[in-house]
Amino acid sequence: MLDPQHARKAFHAELCKKFAHPSNQCSHSIPRFCSAPSLNPILTTPKSSVNLLLKFWSSSIGKKWLVALTGLALLGFVVAHLVGNLQMFAGAAKINAYAEFLHANDKPLWVARLGLILCFVGHIVATLTLVKMNRAARPKAYAISRNVQAKISTRTMALSGLTVLSFIVFHLLHYTLRVTDPRFKTVAEGGQLDTVFDVYRMVVLGFGNPLLSGFYIVSVGLLALHLSHGISSVFQTFGLESKRSAQWMPTAGKLLSVVIFAGYASIPTAVLLGFLK
């Protein structure tokens, strides 16, 4: 739960920024020193915490928190899904039993799916609104584009995000709905439909196509790039960045992203090289 004092402070700082309010007149925590109280009724009238929270979400700081929190939840899914998928290397029986276990628990599976969809939509909507807010707040275009100094990962955030989005749409059609490859309809274990679905065989058949494997590898590469930047931004958003942590956080983000990339890419690569067959 968000500390109301913190939310108040953050919201006030936001207003000061928005209205170019001189910071030497304002401590952000003592609103009566602020020359813009009429623009900011929340600071002068006591309101319910729901109201405060709503105001917070509608501020750009609130949006940043939403992007960061949903991003963390999605990162959790990416790591958990990777751990599940790596069971491909433990053999067909293991990964098929895992898939069967997931599908046998219908209710928790649908709750998790719903949570995932909400996080996904929240992440995208908050990001787009934030971009729009930032553009609107910018007085005029910079003479020299800030992009010139931005890192590759920052510049490609939108591109990598969009690629990951299209990858996920394809991936769901491919391995969850199984509508892209007619062979998947017949890969039930033991050659019989309506028995345990053979996820292992489906993945091996799917990645037998080098073009498709290449598409997966490039997509998880872009996902890793997206995560690499996202992870360090999360710490900045939560204000957890100290001088010391600013040095190791980007490295830790990169390391985790490389592990995620290597883990996901290892599956199509192993199929193409004949280690998984």
- The binding site for ligand HEM (CB under 6 A) comprises 78, 81, 85, 99, 113, 164, 168, 171-172, 175-176, 199, 203, 216, 220, 223, 264, 267-268
Backbone angles phi, psi at 97, to 5 degrees: -65, -40
Least separation in angstroms between CB 108 and ligand HEM: 11
Nearer to ligand HEM, 27 or 209 (CB): 209
Nearer to ligand HEM, 17 or 94 (CB): 94
Residue with tokens 């990001």: 127
Amino acid at 23: S
Least separation in angstroms between CB 162 and ligand HEM: 13
Task: Quote the CA–CA distance of 217 and 255 in Å, as a whole number.
Answer: 18
Least separation in angstroms between CB 61 and ligand HEM: 27
Backbone angles phi, psi at 197, to 5 degrees: -75, 135
Nearer to ligand HEM, 125 or 212 (CB): 212
Nearer to ligand HEM, 2 or 102 (CB): 102
Least separation in angstroms between CB 130 and ligand HEM: 21
Q: What is residue 141's DSSP assignment?
A: -
Least separation in angstroms between CB 27 and ligand HEM: 43
Amino acid at 246: A
Cβ distance 213 to 158 under 8 Å?
Answer: no
Nearer to ligand HEM, 41 or 76 (CB): 76
Least separation in angstroms between CB 62 and ligand HEM: 25
> How big, in percent rounded to 5, are the helix, strand and coil portions of the chain?
75, 0, 20
Query: Each residue of 81-95: b (16+ CB within 10 Å) or e?
Result: ebeebebbeeebeeb
Nearer to ligand HEM, 109 or 246 (CB): 109
For residue 161, which of 129, 124, 135 has the smallest C-alpha distance?
Answer: 124
121 vs 67, 156, 255, CA distance in Å?
10, 20, 27
Nearer to ligand HEM, 53 or 168 (CB): 168
Cβ distance 109 to 81 under 8 Å?
Answer: no
Task: Quote the CA–CA distance of 212 and 46 in Å, as a whole number.
Answer: 58
Q: Which residues make beta-bridge pairs with 197?
A: 188
